[in-house]
């Protein structure tokens, strides 16, 4: 199940940087959803729109002022008037710049808030996804929702959105002014613009393909590196270094080629556009000069020439911004896909509450901390929590068409220790996942204190169960924090008591900072056995009425195990324990032992019964005894 156990084979699907130039599947719908997020910033966006219009108008209008500047002040020689006019021009440009700055600031505010919200919602959603989702999606895939996709959305909102509108406004404004100033010269500009558009389309199209190839190659290189870092130990164990290096060289070479192509092509665009724009300028100059000699409108010509220098800039930018926006929309679409995945269903109404019991034995809900728990049904009746778990003809498969558990029936009465034994893959872990409702069963029922677990709220159900999972996980933090994970309000003393019960106190005391030692990277610096002890301490700290130990002591020596068992027996007095153990000596004292093979319970009984039956358990036990 855990991702990092994959052997290093071939390139993985690691997260590349921006997923450049991918087209969204349904642009309108995605934009609509994005707009819902932006909706709360209506006022901000209105101000942005106003500032955009003013800044574009200033940038277009400023250039127009050249015409009166020359015709009315420079040519007649009115120098005080010229100074005033220059002042007005400066004011227009400064206003334009101030507006640009203003809308950019507001957009940053809007986009960062929006993106933070999306990130938060995505994280919240991820916590509610059923385990099945994680079984079928790699963690690299999920990670890239947070890294690449949210990043492209953020970039688009920060910059591209405003720039695009500003470019379009400036472009139309400029064209309008040009037509107003000189319709004949505008025809030349239109001709040249057509040539430029053609260049953008052909060069841009090719370069887009090369960039996409570069992104893909980068993704593969990154994925490979990620896998190699995770699998370092396995690589070393199998002396796979040379192969890994060779595979990496191939990927790296592919990336180099794709990068060279993309960058070469990207380098062609600016000089091409620059030259075309100079050509346009030169042509306009010549024709414009001829026309101006006749009309005498020198100022109009100067203003027109300024516009004709400016008009080509937005074309290139518009096409770039549209691409950024499209890939952001594609990213947003993938984010929404995760957000719209069916969450883990929780139709349960029965909750877990703390209760007090008066002398006559009647329960009432407590408003303070007590040591008694009860199930509170929807109608308010309280059922004491005892830890009676029953499976009735349960059928289950991770996939609909492949049954893993066939017709499992069992019961565990409060205080009983029930053991599951059987070969690897028999379905032991699966049974415990079902008690927890990690997965939905296909038929049959599971009841807990007589209540169908479907009717119990998942949080309450899981709080009532202490599960020590087969694959342990420690979080970055101190040893004490990790133990306290079981119950956040446990005091330091309670943490230590739990550690002692779990037999973890001895090794913790020997750590450099004892309980305050920081562990990171899933406790990589601890031995497997020590990690298991911490996990047991965590469950002991939670002090649940039902405890599930899934091969929890498999990496612990027999002497320590015996110690833990004593502690656990004390802790679990009057409560139910499910134990899965491959060391059969661990389960000898269980009230009932279920022998599981290929998803079926083939034998059940206590140790002596099973030995007497001389069946599978007997074989396993005697086989083990011989081995030991």
Ligand X SMILES: Nc1ncnc2c1ncn2[C@@H]1O[C@H](COP(=O)(O)OP(=O)(O)O)[C@@H](O)[C@H]1O
Task: Pick the closer one to ligand X by CB: 428 or 458.
Answer: 428
The distance of closest approach from Cβ of residue 438 to Mg ion in the complex, given in angstroms and rounded to an integer, is 13
Helix (H, G, I), strand (E, B) or coil at 520: coil
User: Between 262 and 577, whose beta carbon lies closer to ligand X?
Assistant: 577
β partners of residue 419? 579, 593
Question: How far apart, in whole angstroms, are the C-alpha atoms of residue 486 and residue 343?
Answer: 24
565 or 597, CB closer to ligand X?
A: 597
> Which residue in 20, 273, 426, 610 binds ligand X (CB under 6 A)?
426
CB of 554 to Mg ion, least distance (A): 10
Q: What is the closest distance, in whole angstroms, from the C-beta atom of residue 222 to ligand X in the complex?
A: 27
Partner from Mg ion, ligand X, none contacting 404, C-beta within 5 to 8 A by type: ligand X
Total residues at interface with Mg ion (CB under 5 A): 2
Asked if 133 interacts with ligand X (CB under 6 A), we say no
Neighbours of 515 (CB within 10 A): 19
Contacts of ligand X in 134-163 (CB under 6 A): 135
Order of strands across the sheet with 443-448?
Answer: 405-412, 389-396, 443-448, 451-452
Nearer to ligand X, 386 or 428 (CB): 428
Q: Is 2 a residue that touches ligand X (CB under 6 A)?
A: no
DSSP secondary structure string for all residues of 571-599: HTTTSEEEEE-SSGGGGTT-SEEEEEETT
As given in the structure block, the two tokens for residue 506 are 């001895």
Contact between 178 and 308 (Cβ < 8 Å): yes
- For position 471 contacting ligand X by CB under 6 A, the verdict is no
Of Mg ion, ligand X, none, which one does residue 327 interact with (CB within 5 to 8 Å by kind)?
Answer: none
Radius of gyration of the chain (CA): 36
Count residues binding ligand X (CB under 6 A): 12
Residue 111 contacts Mg ion per CB under 5 A: no
Task: Tokens for 30, please give them.
Answer: 């995605």
Of the two residues 1 and 43, which places its CB atom closer to ligand X in the complex? 1
- 558-571 and 492-501 helices cross at what angle (nearest 10)? 120
DSSP letter string, 125-160: HHHHS-HHHHHHS-HHHHHHIIIIIHHHHHHIIIII
Buried b (16+ CB within 10 A) or exposed e, 5-19: eeebeebbebbbebb
Going by C-alpha positions, the residue among 442, 412, 408 that lies closest to residue 596 is 408
Which is closer to ligand X, CB of 541 or CB of 577? Answer: 577
Task: Name which of Mg ion, ligand X, none residue 424 binds, using a CB cut-off of 5 to 8 Å depending on partner kind.
Answer: ligand X
Which of 136, 249 has the CB closer to ligand X? 136
487 scored as a contact of ligand X (CB under 6 A) = no
How many whole angstroms separate alpha carbon 271 and alpha carbon 2? 51
Both structure tokens of 592: 């009932």
For ligand X, the closer of residues 344 and 481 by Cβ is 344
Q: Which is nearer to Mg ion, 470 or 585 (CB)?
A: 470
Q: Which of 219, 288, 314, 427 binds ligand X (CB under 6 A)?
A: 427
Binding window for ligand X (CB under 6 A); candidates: 169-177, 228-236, 286-294, 428-436: 428-436
In whole angstroms, give the CA distance from residue 325 to residue 330.
9
Among residue numbers 424 through 453, which ones bind Mg ion (CB under 5 A)?
Answer: 429
Q: Which of 133, 33, 143 is closest to 341 using CA atoms?
A: 133
Q: How far is the CB of 555 from ligand X (least distance, A)?
A: 16
Query: DSSP state, 606?
Result: -
587 touches ligand X by CB under 6 A? no
Q: Which of 7, 87, 296, 425 binds ligand X (CB under 6 A)?
A: 425
Per CB under 6 A, which region of 165-173, 187-195, 258-266, 423-431 contacts ligand X? 423-431
Per-residue DSSP letters for 398-430?
SBTTB-SEEEEEEEE-TT-EEEEE--TTSSHHH
First CA to last CA across the chain, in angstroms? 30
**At closest approach, how far in Å is the CB of 404 from ligand X?**
4
Print the binding letters for residues 371-400 with ligand X: x by CB under 6 A, - otherwise.
Answer: ---------------------------x--
Contact of residue 607 among Mg ion, ligand X, none (CB under 5-8 Å per partner type): none
Closest distance to Mg ion from the beta carbon of 158 (Å): 48
Instruction: Please choose which of Mg ion, ligand X, none residue 426 contacts, taking the beta carbon within 5 to 8 angstroms, the exact cut-off set by kind.
Output: ligand X
Any contact of residue 8 with ligand X (CB under 6 A)? Answer: no
**Torsion sign (Cα): 213, 215, 217, 219:** negative
Neighbours of 480 (CB within 10 A): 20
Q: Which two tokens stand for residue 293?
A: 């000699």
If the CB atoms of residues 192 and 418 are measured against ligand X, the closer one turns out to be 418
Applying CB under 6 A, the span of 82-90, 418-426, 536-544, 617-625 interacting with ligand X comes to 418-426
Say how many C-beta atoms besides its own lie within 10 A of residue 142's C-beta: 16
Min. distance of Cβ 503 from ligand X in angstroms? 24
Of Mg ion, ligand X, none, which one does residue 398 interact with (CB within 5 to 8 Å by kind)?
Answer: ligand X
Q: Which does 466 bind (CB under 5 to 8 A by kind): ligand X, Mg ion, none?
A: none
* DSSP string for residues in 264-283: HHHHHHHHHHHHHHHHHHHH
Q: By the criterion CB under 6 A, which residues form the site for ligand X?
A: 1, 135, 398, 404, 422, 424-430
Q: By the criterion CB under 5 A, which residues form the site for Mg ion?
A: 429, 470
């Amino acid at each position: 199940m855990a991702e990092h156990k994959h052997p290093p084979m071939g390139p993985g699907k690691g997260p590349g940087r921006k997923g450049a130039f991918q087209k969204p599947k349904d642009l309108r719908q995605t934009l609509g959803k994005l707009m819902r997020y932006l909706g709360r910033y209506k006022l901000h966006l209105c101000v942005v729109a106003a500032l955009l219009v003013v800044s574009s108008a200033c940038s277009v209008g400023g250039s127009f002022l050249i015409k009166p500047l020359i015709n009315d002040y420079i040519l007649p020689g009115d120098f005080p008037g010229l100074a005033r006019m220059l002042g007005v021009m400066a004011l227009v440009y400064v206003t334009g710049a101030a507006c640009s700055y203003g809308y950019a600031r507001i957009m940053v505010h809007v986009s960062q808030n929006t993106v933070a919200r999306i990130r938060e919602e995505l994280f919240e959603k991820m916590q509610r996804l059923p385990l099945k989702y994680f079984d079928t999606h790699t963690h690299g895939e999920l990670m890239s929702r947070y890294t690449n996709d949210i990043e492209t959305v953020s970039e688009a909102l920060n910059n591209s959105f405003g720039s695009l509108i500003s470019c379009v406004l400036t472009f139309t404004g400029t064209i309008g002014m040009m037509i107003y100033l000189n319709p004949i010269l505008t025809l030349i500009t239109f001709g040249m613009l057509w040539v430029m558009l053609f260049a953008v389309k052909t060069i841009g199209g090719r370069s887009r393909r090369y960039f996409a190839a570069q992104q893909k190659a980068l993704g593969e290189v990154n994925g490979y590196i990620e896998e190699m870092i995770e699998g370092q130990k396995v690589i070393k164990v199998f002396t796979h270094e040379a192969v890994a290096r060779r595979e990496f060289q191939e990927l790296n070479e592919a990336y180099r080629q794709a990068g060279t192509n993309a960058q070469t092509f990207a380098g062609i665009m600016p000089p091409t556009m620059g030259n075309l724009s100079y050509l346009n300028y030169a042509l306009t100059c010549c024709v414009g000069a001829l026309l101006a000699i006749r009309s005498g409108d020198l100022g109009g010509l100067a203003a027109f020439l300024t516009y004709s220098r400016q008009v080509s800039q937005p074309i290139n930018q518009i096409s770039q911004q549209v691409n950024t926006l499209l890939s952001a929309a594609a990213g947003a679409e993938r984010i929404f896909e995760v957000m719209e995945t069916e969450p883990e269903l929780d139709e349960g109404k029965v909750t877990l509450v703390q209760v007090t019991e008066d002398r006559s034995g009647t329960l009432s809900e407590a408003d303070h901390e007590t040591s008694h728990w009860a199930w509170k049904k929807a109608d308010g009746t309280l059922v004491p929590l005892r830890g009676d778990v029953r499976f009735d003809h349960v059928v289950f498969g991770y996939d609909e068409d492949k049954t893993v558990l066939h017709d499992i029936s069992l019961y565990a009465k409060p205080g009983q220790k029930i053991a599951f034994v059987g070969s690897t893959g028999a379905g032991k872990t699966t049974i415990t996942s079902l008690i927890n409702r990690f997965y939905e069963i296909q038929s049959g029922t599971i009841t807990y204190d007589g209540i169908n677990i479907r009717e119990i709220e998942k949080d309450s159900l899981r709080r009532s169960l202490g599960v020590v999972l087969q694959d342990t996980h420690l979080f970055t933090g101190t040893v004490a924090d990790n133990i306290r994970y079981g119950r956040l309000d446990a005091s330091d003393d309670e943490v230590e008591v739990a550690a002692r019960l779990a037999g973890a106190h001895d090794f913790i005391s020997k750590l450099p900072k004892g309980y305050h030692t920081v562990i990171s990277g899933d406790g990589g610096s601890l031995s497997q056995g020590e990690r298991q002890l911490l996990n047991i301490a965590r469950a002991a700290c939670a002090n649940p009425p039902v405890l599930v130990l899934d091969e929890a002591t498999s990496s612990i020596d027999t002497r320590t195990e015996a110690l833990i068992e004593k502690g656990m027996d004390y802790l679990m007095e009057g409560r139910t324990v499910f134990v899965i153990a491959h060391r059969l000596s661990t389960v000898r004292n269980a009230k009932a032992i279920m022998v599981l093979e290929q998803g079926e319970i083939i034998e059940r009984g206590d140790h002596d019964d099973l030995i007497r039956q001389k069946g599978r358990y007997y074989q396993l036990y005697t086989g083990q005894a011989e081995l030991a």
